[in-house]
Amino acid sequence: MGVSPPGPTDFPPAPPRANPWRAVVVILVTVVLILAALTAFWFVTKTGPFSQIEPSVWALNAMHVPDLRGRGLDGTGVRVCVVDTGVDLTHPELAGLHLAAWKDFVNRQSAPYDDEGHGTAMTGIIFAHGILPGVAPNADLIAAKAISSSGTGSDSAIANAIRFCLDPNADGDLRNDGANVISLSLGGTNHPFLGSATTSAVDNATSNGVYVVAAAGNDGQNDDGDVESPASEPSVIAVGAVDREGVIAPFSSIGGANWGFPPVARTDPNKKPEVVAPGVEIATPLNQGRYAYVSGTSPAAAFVSGIVALLLQGHPSYEWNPAKLTALKTALMQSAEREPGQQAGPHDPHYGYGLVAAGPWHDVLPP
């Protein structure tokens, strides 16, 4: 993941005298392009609605998702907002999905669509109910398109999309139609001392009791010192990626020990990333009826978003309750499963607290 440089005409001519704030403005503007496409790598694409693709059942089993599904939890009554490239609801895997709300912050189209494929893939991980088993297929979808066909999105578009997730009909009543979970399989360069509209929108969401799950990022082989933004925000659940053997993916971003400016040491249960989830060669739907195996921290974040939806169905007292956020993250920390390559101690900067475990997480979550 990274930030696209601005074009040569993006800024006005430099003033004749040096301006000490100009450097700050330049950095702020360069932060506004957040890449979603780079949070997933498309490995194998299968075309057509009846393509042969092996569902990633191993991933669901690794996270104990069948445990919760066996208890009758399927996401019913929970709203999940996916901020991404849109969604192709004509795909067989998403047939019959309940769309609670849609808004396009890129091209202003009134009907749902996906001109890149990433959003349909992430939505499928949560909601699919055909060849592929989604984590929470009966949840309600709020879809916000903030990422273009080129995989880029402005800071303002993403921030507006997050605000839309909270209150799609803008009536001030979050409980009536707002999201319980916001899934962000996107990220950009982390500048904690500057902040951004996106991080402000995320913090506003969590302060209203909405759970935000974000991809940790894919810069593990070119580490910049921390997970990407907005996964770096303390209240967000940042998710790294492992393969089917539970080994950390080489691309999965490494968490830093400190956050903010001036730097403040991160403490449990908010050390980054919080958890890892399967994110290597995950079977997903794509737009235009296609299928693909994708890798990245994007699919890992989508898995965890679906699991949070199941937890909220089973623990409705945690909905729109900001006072419960620490308890939920503490239970996440306590229930995560340690992997063989994980460092000693409660937290590892690569693996977080461990592999997310849906059933145990549900069981240790206080009433």
**Looking at the annotation, which residues are catalytic?**
84, 118, 298
* Number of continuous H segments (helices) and E segments (strands) in the chain: 10, 14
Cβ contact 335:361 at 8 Å: yes
Dist. CA 192–CA 203, nearest whole Å? 13
Q: Helices in the chain by DSSP H: which ranges?
A: 22-31, 57-62, 65-70, 118-127, 155-166, 174-177, 197-207, 297-314, 325-335, 358-364
Q: Is 243 exposed, middle or buried (0-12, 13-18, 19+ CB in 10 A)?
A: middle
Long-range contacts of 104-111, Cβ-Cβ distance < 8 Å, separation of 24 or more = 104/145, 105/144, 105/145, 105/146, 105/157, 105/158, 105/160, 105/161, 105/164, 106/145, 106/146, 106/147, 106/148, 106/153, 106/157, 107/145, 109/145
Asked if residues 291 and 117 have their Cβ atoms less than 8 Å apart, the reply is: no
Q: Which residue has the tokens 């899934």?
A: 183
Residue ranges of E strands in 74-189: 79-84, 99-104, 140-145, 152-153, 181-184
Dihedral sign from CA coordinates of 16, 17, 22, 26:
positive
Which backbone phi and psi does 316 adopt, to 5 degrees? -60, -15
